[in-house]
Amino acid sequence: MRRAPCPRARLAVVAGTVAVTAMVLVAACAPDEADVDERGPLDPEAAMDTEQIVAEPAEARPGDTVEVRFPQEHQRGIHLVLERAADGDYHHAYDISTNVHTDEGPLVVEAGTEGFGIDDIGIVGPGPDPLPIPDDAPAGDYRVCTGNAGENVCAPVTIRASQ
């Protein structure tokens, strides 16, 4: 899994020593739970539809990779969205470019990362598409959704605490 550089990391490197920089990077790059809770879902019309999208396994830990399958060969792009459940709704937490068309592997960024974009590449077929669980993802209930399909669909994923 490739992780996009944290945009705030550049400032931290200039600001201090190696030890201080490491602490700042960890604090600055982890998702701010208050920010995530305010975002809401990326696509409010996206619905849970486990006939069209399935996450296997449905439970994972940070650093694991979940396979996202499409039993009905749902047409989609290479953009997946990981949204965290909170306050009776889902909140856009991470964007994932599956990069299934390249040898680069998936790219994971925190939702709202400046300058992040996704190629508009159409895919049809059963998958699997890789969903890397971010190393800093807090434990909880999530859903994985297609992010740039004509009709976005979602499947449940539970992230357990790291061991």
Helix (H, G, I), strand (E, B) or coil at 34: helix
C-alpha pair distances (Å), 150 with each of 13, 36, 88, 101, 153: 41, 25, 25, 19, 10
Contacts of 27 (CB under 8 A, 6+ apart): none
Q: Which of 18-32, 45-59, 91-105, 108-122 has the highest mean pLDDT?
A: 45-59
- Could you read off the pLDDT of 24-82 as tens digits, one per residue? 333 334 444 444 445 678 899 999 999 999 999 999 999 999 999 999 988 898 899 99
What is the bridge-based pairing of β-strands 47-48 and 153-159? parallel
Could you tell me how many helices (H) and strands (E) the chain has, helices first? 3, 11
Domain extent listing, the chain: 33-159
Specify the fold of 33-159.
Immunoglobulin-like (2.60.40)
When pLDDT is averaged across residues 119-125 and rounded to a whole number, the result is: 85
Indicate the pTM of the whole model: 0.74
Q: What is the pLDDT of residue 126?
A: 93
Does the pLDDT value for residue 147 go beyond 50? Answer: yes
